[in-house]
């Protein structure tokens, strides 16, 4: 029995899969925040290059991956598919568990799968510099790596509290040649405003997004090289780029003769989950029996407790209104260690498919996720990112369920990244300092009040 299923380099998928072509109900359009009218491509042009905007709205089922992108992806792709035999033996449940190892990329997560094409499309559009934000640093480091590959400048606004408490990903960014500043910074109007209110502001993802977008749209006026903004999750083109995960997994599973009964991924903005799952959602739309589970934290239960409605993508209300599951743009989740899952919204494509009953959302509590991560490390060996541990907790739940039901099942899970830069979180867990965060309904209701009077998606 093979424990690792590899693809040769010439088996790397050469097209991305665009689920927009197959959805039973199309995604509702993003709306202009001022006019409430559907957004046109030109509205986004100051922020993103037009070639990525075209992908954002494309209805083509298959989109060719450009040769220079394939060339860079080959640094770590195709990624191995593993059979989690040691975990299976430990669990003693009637399941085969396969996992796609996205921790093998240079930045240690799935995020370079979209950072590489995004930087490439910016480069061919004549952009010289990219501005972005990062929380714990996963996206900032992936983008810095990609910019170094294509010779673009990278400017990363990193939430100040993480900048100070988590130096390692900042140092990865510096090693790849990027400039990383703590946000709020003195370099933008938005940052200076925040610092005037609170010189010791710990920062937030919302503020950092404002700074990065402002940096991009004002770069020419300030005499900086031509700059655009880049986002690491949520948007359609990001999910599109990530489908290389599921397309590879399909080919690898075909070599084993197995087809998954259950596909599982953790979901913050939805990109790694969608990347692994969408090719299987396609099969499900075509009539195949497959259960598809997106796992989120109970402390930030966007899909399981948030309504499907129009909301801003960011805290400071600069982005278009997106049709999605949301807890409200002002929702501040508890400071759990899975920083990548602390987002108030969910990708519109994933949200629509949840509404259509094709994706099943599930929330798991923090302590259960770390217990699953430790079990994983002591069986499979790899130490997972705290985000990834959410998916692993659901794998263990499903394995136990299969045993109760007396059914044999094949499970595919996306192992979104390693946790070697997140060991302080494991330390806190071992010392008993972590807690599960109950989220009272009043808190959700309160945050959702901000959406009163917002347009509603058509059903």
Ligand X SMILES: *Cc1c(COP(=O)(O)O)cnc(C)c1O
Q: How far is the CB of 166 from ligand X (least distance, A)?
A: 13
β-pairing verdict for 81-83 and 95-101? antiparallel
Residues in contact with 190: Cβ distance below 8 Å, sequence separation at least 6, in sequence order? 184, 207, 210, 211, 214, 316
Q: Mind giving me the DSSP string for 381-403?
A: -PPBPHHHHHHHHHHHHHHHHHH
Q: How far is the CB of 422 from ligand X (least distance, A)?
A: 9
Q: How far is the CB of 10 from ligand X (least distance, A)?
A: 28
For ligand X, the binding residue among 213, 410, 416, 425 (CB under 6 A) is 416
Q: What count of Cα atoms within 13 Å lies in the side-chain half-sphere of residue 124?
A: 12
Q: Which residue lies nearer to ligand X by CB, 185 or 388? A: 388
Q: How far is the CB of 365 from ligand X (least distance, A)?
A: 17
Q: Tell me which residue has tokens 């997004």.
A: 209
* 18: region left, alpha or beta (phi > 0 left; psi from -120 to 50 alpha): beta
Q: Which residue lies nearer to ligand X by CB, 250 or 296? A: 296
Q: Which residue lies nearer to ligand X by CB, 184 or 373? A: 373
Q: How far is the CB of 109 from ligand X (least distance, A)?
A: 4
User: Does an H or E element contain 427, and which?
Assistant: helix 423-430
Give CA–CA dist 60/55, Å, rounded. Answer: 9
8 Å CB contact between 345 and 311: yes
Question: CA-based angle 293:425:148, to the nearest 5?
Answer: 80
**Total chain residues near ligand X (CB under 6 A):** 19
8 Å CB contact between 184 and 190: yes
Q: Which residue lies nearer to ligand X by CB, 231 or 448? A: 231
Q: How far is the CB of 458 from ligand X (least distance, A)?
A: 26
Q: Which residue lies nearer to ligand X by CB, 105 or 185? A: 105
Work out whether 387 is an interface residue with ligand X (CB under 6 A): yes
For ligand X, the binding residue among 340, 345, 348, 373 (CB under 6 A) is 340
Work out whether 271 is an interface residue with ligand X (CB under 6 A): yes
Q: Tell me which residue has tokens 């094949």.
A: 410
Give CA–CA dist 297/336, Å, rounded. Answer: 9
Q: How far is the CB of 251 from ligand X (least distance, A)?
A: 21
Work out whether 388 is an interface residue with ligand X (CB under 6 A): yes
What residue number has its CB nearest to ligand X?
417
Residues in contact with 347: Cβ distance below 8 Å, sequence separation at least 6, in sequence order? 233, 234, 235, 236, 238, 239, 269, 270, 271, 274, 324
Q: How far is the CB of 268 from ligand X (least distance, A)?
A: 3
For ligand X, the binding residue among 7, 131, 358, 385 (CB under 6 A) is 385
Give CA–CA dist 31/309, Å, rounded. Answer: 12
Q: How far is the CB of 265 from ligand X (least distance, A)?
A: 7
Q: Which residue lies nearer to ligand X by CB, 219 or 233? A: 233
The piece of 16-24, 211-219, 245-253, 385-393 that touches ligand X (CB under 6 A) is 385-393
For ligand X, the binding residue among 376, 417, 425, 439 (CB under 6 A) is 417
* Phi, psi (degrees; rounded to nearest 5) at 438: -70, 140
Work out whether 272 is an interface residue with ligand X (CB under 6 A): yes
Q: Tell me which residue has tokens 């044999």.
A: 408
Work out whether 270 is an interface residue with ligand X (CB under 6 A): yes
8 Å CB contact between 403 and 94: yes
Q: Which residue lies nearer to ligand X by CB, 191 or 348? A: 348
Binding mask 230-269 for ligand X (x = CB under 6 A): ---x--------------------------------xxxx
Q: Mind giving me the DSSP string for 101-157?
A: EGGGSTTSBSTHHHHHHHHHHHHHTT--EEEEEESSSHHHHHHHHHHHHHT-EEEEE
The piece of 172-180, 213-221, 351-359, 382-390 that touches ligand X (CB under 6 A) is 382-390
Q: Which residue lies nearer to ligand X by CB, 191 or 361? A: 361
Work out whether 18 is an interface residue with ligand X (CB under 6 A): no
Q: How far is the CB of 324 from ligand X (least distance, A)?
A: 13
Work out whether 138 is an interface residue with ligand X (CB under 6 A): yes
Q: How far is the CB of 204 from ligand X (least distance, A)?
A: 16
Work out whether 109 is an interface residue with ligand X (CB under 6 A): yes
> Where on the chain is the footprint of ligand X (CB under 6 A)?
109, 111, 138, 233, 266-273, 340-341, 385, 387-388, 416-417
């Amino acid at each position: 029995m093979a424990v690792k299923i590899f693809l040769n380099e010439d088996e790397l998928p050469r097209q991305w899969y665009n689920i927009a072509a197959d959805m039973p109900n199309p995604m509702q359009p993003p709306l202009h925040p001022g006019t409430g009218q559907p957004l046109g491509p030109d509205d986004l042009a100051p922020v993103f290059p037009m070639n990525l905007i075209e992908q954002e709205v494309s209805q083509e089922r298959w989109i060719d991956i450009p040769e220079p992108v394939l060339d860079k992806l080959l640094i770590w792709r195709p990624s191995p598919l593993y059979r989690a035999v040691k975990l299976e033996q430990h669990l003693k449940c009637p399941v085969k568990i396969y996992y796609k190892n996205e921790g093998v990329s240079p930045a240690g997560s799935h995020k370079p799968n979209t950072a590489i094409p995004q930087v490439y499309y910016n480069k061919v559009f004549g952009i010289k510099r990219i501005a972005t934000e990062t929380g714990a640093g996963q996206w900032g480091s992936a983008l810095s790596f990609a910019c170094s590959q294509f010779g673009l400048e990278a400017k990363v606004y990193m939430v100040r509290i993480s900048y100070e408490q988590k130096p390692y990903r900042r140092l990865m960014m510096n090693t790849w040649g990027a400039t990383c500043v703590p946000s709020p910074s003195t370099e933008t109007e938005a940052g200076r405003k925040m610092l005037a209110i609170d010189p010791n502001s710990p920062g937030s993802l919302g503020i950092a997004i404002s700074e990065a977008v402002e940096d991009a749209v004002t770069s020419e006026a300030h005499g900086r090289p031509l700059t655009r903004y880049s986002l690491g999750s949520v948007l359609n083109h990001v999910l599109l780029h990530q489908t290389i995960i599921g397309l590879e997994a399909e080919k690898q599973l075909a070599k084993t003769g197995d087809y998954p009964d259950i596909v599982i991924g953790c979901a913050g903005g939805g990109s790694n989950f969608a990347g692994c799952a969408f090719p299987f959602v396609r099969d499900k739309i075509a009539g195949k029996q497959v259960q598809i589970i997106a796992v989120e934290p109970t402390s930030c239960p966007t899909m399981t407790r948030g309504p499907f409605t129009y909301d801003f993508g960011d805290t400071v209300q600069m982005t278009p209104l997106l049709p999605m599951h949301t807890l409200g743009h002002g929702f501040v989740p508890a400071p759990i260690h899975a920083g990548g899952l602390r987002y108030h919204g969910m990708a519109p494509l994933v949200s629509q498919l949840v509404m259509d009953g094709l994706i099943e959302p599930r929330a798991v509590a923090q302590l259960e996720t770390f217990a699953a991560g430790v079990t994983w490390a002591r069986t499979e060996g790899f130490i997972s990112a705290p985000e990834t541990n959410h998916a692993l907790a659901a794998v263990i739940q499903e394995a136990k369920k299969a045993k109760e039901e007396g059914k044999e099942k094949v499970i595919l899970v996306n192992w979104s990244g390693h946790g070697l830069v997140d060991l302080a979180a494991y330390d806190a867990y071992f010392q008993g300092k972590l807690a599960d965060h109950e989220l009272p309904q009043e808190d959700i209701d309160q945050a959702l009040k901000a959406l009163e009077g917002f347009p509603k998606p058509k059903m």
